[in-house]
Amino acid sequence: RETQDQNEKLKKEVHEYSDVLPKEQQAVHKGRINPRHRVIERPEDNEILKKPKQTTLTTESAYELSIRLDLEKQNPALGALGTASHLTGEAARRGDEIYKKISLNQELSERLSYNRTLADSRHPACLKQNFNIPTLPSTSVIVIFYNEPYSVLVRTVHSTLNTCNEKLLKEIILVDDGSSNEELHGKLDYYISTRIPNGKVKVLRLKNRLGLIRARLAGARIATGDVLIFLDAHCEANIGWCEPLLQRIKESRTSVLVPIIDVIDSKDFQYSTNGYKSFQVGGFEWSGHFDWIEVSDREKKRQLRECDQPRQICPAYSPTMAGGLFAIDRHYFWESGSYDEQMDGWGGENLEMSFRIWQCGGTIETIPCSRVGHVFRDFHPYEFPNDRDTHGINTARMALVWMDDYVNLFFLNRPDMKFHPDIGDMTHRKLLRKKLRCKSFDWYLENIYPEKFVPNKNVIAYGRVRALSKDLCLDDLTQNNEKPYNLGIFWCAKTLSKSQFFSLTNTQVLRNELSCATVPHGDGGDVRVVKMVPCMDNDDYNEQWSYEEEHIIHLNTGLCLDHKELRSSDEIQVARCDSDSETQRWIIQHDK
Ligand code: LR7
Ligand code: MN
């Protein structure tokens, strides 16, 4: 009864809101009223090629010839078991050249077998697991691509066919997000119909590039397997990776699962692992970027409590996921809000899904017995639609819907996004959040990611650390990615910015998001630099500072922060404390 009322109310609200939306968004809205939150179908965008396109005899023989030449070029011994390979002479030169353009050695990829083997990178305990195959859910593997190198994409397909149990793999759906690369059209269709004629591999062509979020949605809409597994188009899956994912979803329908992502080198195609003893899970930065973090001690204890396998192969709760490789129950994918369809291009959807799943009652877990390699590239080989920062824009959409007041910490890092005109309307996502009765971001931080440092929580003071006698502020001189680094000083910025944002915590640690202020031992003297080093999760191991009568004192050495004789962009120092010194007086402020 109560839910009925609520649903009625919600429907009304959707109606009210949809009137104030721009016309093109109203259509999207109507699709959202549907209880399953299915997005509207847009058949005109899609064209499923179950059979190869009608081709003339001449193009067919041209494809045939080209494919034969491709296969002749391959050397089965090269890169076998995931080892590194190196080209020589003219081929090496061509490899370097293409590498500069697309951050991937396509020349080498073309010489590796599509069916190359990988060394089994799993923990030995994984081999003892038994699965009752007929009872496991089936899967549709969805691979989206935009102008990926043909050989790399084809290897992703073969690798999936070779490693995912035939009875469980219902289909592989390749979604072409409007690629212009010729090889990815007729030749790819021809290859599939002649070399993989089992009917399992389908190609969905989008007429225009819709961006990776909408491309995944398009693939998901036509998928028929019980479970959706998404992969990037440059992956190689390791032995036995499908079963543990499907088994876990069978046990826990609302768990979204990530394999361990191994690294395939974009230059020499070496498949490398970090060993099987430990792996990282997903975190985030307040700037809205994904990062890798260690599994916390808290989580290790939970694993021991709740899992009866050796801990290293137990599912590990992950606060976020990288986004490209994951498994999710198909119905749950739609029920939980699939994706924000108004996200364009690339980026942001991974944190959106991560926060949403956790806040709305699901879990995100790394499944250690499932391992898949991914080619990590140094830069994007493609341009972005209209040159926009889609990562920033999408992340702003995400933050405005899911992060409550913490959205301010995002905007502090991304002031350029605060009033960005392309952020658009999020009403339907906010309604989704209401409808699913999702928990707050506060709840998420407290329960799912308590290790995450919140710059304005449990602190004595936060904001900029400003010298009293001069307009100088502590500043990490934007070196916050090179660790450790010396802390600097700079003219105070007009509006508080990330590089001048510091916190003095209740546990007396002076820090920014990732790094903690220390004074190195060794150089003994009374004037020393301040080094920023990665903070420890447990504050017992971070160095302490006190703030008394405007002096900031390093407790171990008893030295005081001092900007005597320093100029803008110098490195800040600590010196013997002097209560009369003007250059040792500081204020920590966040208001003005
Ligand atoms: O417009 C586009 N249309 C597409 O179909 C742009 C890209 N794509 C395809 C592309 O061909 C590829 O198959 O989308 C896939 C992902 O693009 P990548 O490989 O350029 O992305 P990435 O690996 O650099 O980025 C990670 O973050 C993205 C955020 O939007 C996506 O979630 C990616 O899937 C994700 N990749 C991974 O999680 C793999 C592990 C990397 C890490 C960390
Ligand atoms: Mn990728």
Query: Does 577 reside within a domain?
Result: yes
Domains contained in the chain, number: 2
Say if residue 137 is in the same domain as residue 269.
yes
Q: Which residues surround ligand 2, an ion (CB under 5 A)?
A: 232
Say if residue 344 is in the same domain as residue 480.
no
Query: Does 413 reside within a domain?
Result: no
Give the pLDDT confidence score for residue 60 in this predicted structure: 87
Q: How much distance in Å is there from the Cα of 149 to the middle of ligand 1?
A: 14
Query: Does 101 reside within a domain?
Result: yes
Q: Collapse the DSSP code of 483 into the 3-class scheme (helix H, G, I; strand E, B; otherwise coil) and give the result.
A: coil
Say if residue 343 is in the same domain as residue 464.
no
Nearest to 543 by CA among 508, 571, 514: 508
Q: Collapse the DSSP code of 306 into the 3-class scheme (helix H, G, I; strand E, B; otherwise coil) and give the result.
A: helix
Q: Which of 317, 346, 378 is the last residue of a domain?
A: 378
State ipTM.
0.99
Residue 209 CA: nearest ligand 1 atom is 1
Say if residue 117 is in the same domain as residue 244.
yes
Say if residue 373 is in the same domain as residue 482.
no
CATH number at residue 198: 3.90.550.10
> Using only C-alpha atoms, what is the Rg of the chain?
27
Domain that holds residue 491: 459-589
Say if residue 469 is in the same domain as residue 348.
no
In angstroms, how far apart are the furthest CA atoms of the chain?
Answer: 92
Query: Does 306 reside within a domain?
Result: yes
Residue 175 CA: nearest ligand 1 atom is 5
Q: How much distance in Å is there from the Cα of 209 to the middle of ligand 2?
A: 17
Give the pLDDT confidence score for residue 186 in this predicted structure: 93
Contact 248, 367 (CB under 8 A): yes
The ligand 1 site (C-beta within 6 Å) comprises: 144-146, 148, 177, 209, 211-212, 215, 232-233, 261, 290, 322-325, 345-347, 349-350, 374, 380, 382
pLDDT in tens, 180-220: 999 999 999 999 999 999 999 999 999 999 999 999 999 99
pLDDT in tens, 488-514: 999 999 888 889 999 999 999 999 999
Give the pLDDT confidence score for residue 17 in this predicted structure: 40
At a CB cut-off of 8 Å and minimum separation 6, what does 389 contact? none
Q: Which of 378, 406, 434 is the last residue of a domain?
A: 378
Give the pLDDT confidence score for residue 233 in this predicted structure: 98
Q: How much distance in Å is there from the Cα of 122 to the middle of ligand 2?
A: 22
Contact 336, 362 (CB under 8 A): yes
Q: How much distance in Å is there from the Cα of 324 to the middle of ligand 1?
A: 6
Q: Give the distance from CA 263 to its chain's centroid.
A: 15
Contact 31, 217 (CB under 8 A): no
Give the pLDDT confidence score for residue 591 in this predicted structure: 73
Residue 380 CA: nearest ligand 1 atom is 20
- The whole-angstrom separation of Cα 91 and Cα 80 is 19
Say if residue 466 is in the same domain as residue 357.
no
List, in sequence order, the alpha helices (H) in 403-482: 407-413, 427-435, 441-447
Say if residue 487 is in the same domain as residue 372.
no
Which stretches of the chain drop beneath a pLDDT of 50?
Answer: 14-46, 49-51
Say if residue 230 is in the same domain as residue 363.
yes
**pTM of the prediction?**
0.89
Contact 248, 351 (CB under 8 A): no
Q: How many residues make up the chain in this entry?
A: 592
Query: Does 153 reside within a domain?
Result: yes
Query: Does 259 reside within a domain?
Result: yes
Query: Does 214 reside within a domain?
Result: yes
Residue 215 CA: nearest ligand 1 atom is 5
Say if residue 470 is in the same domain as residue 353.
no
CATH number at residue 562: 2.80.10.50
Query: Does 157 reside within a domain?
Result: yes
Say if residue 369 is in the same domain as residue 504.
no
Give the pLDDT confidence score for residue 2 in this predicted structure: 62
Q: How much distance in Å is there from the Cα of 83 to the middle of ligand 2?
A: 20
Q: Which of 345, 378, 411 is the last residue of a domain?
A: 378
Say if residue 235 is in the same domain as residue 356.
yes
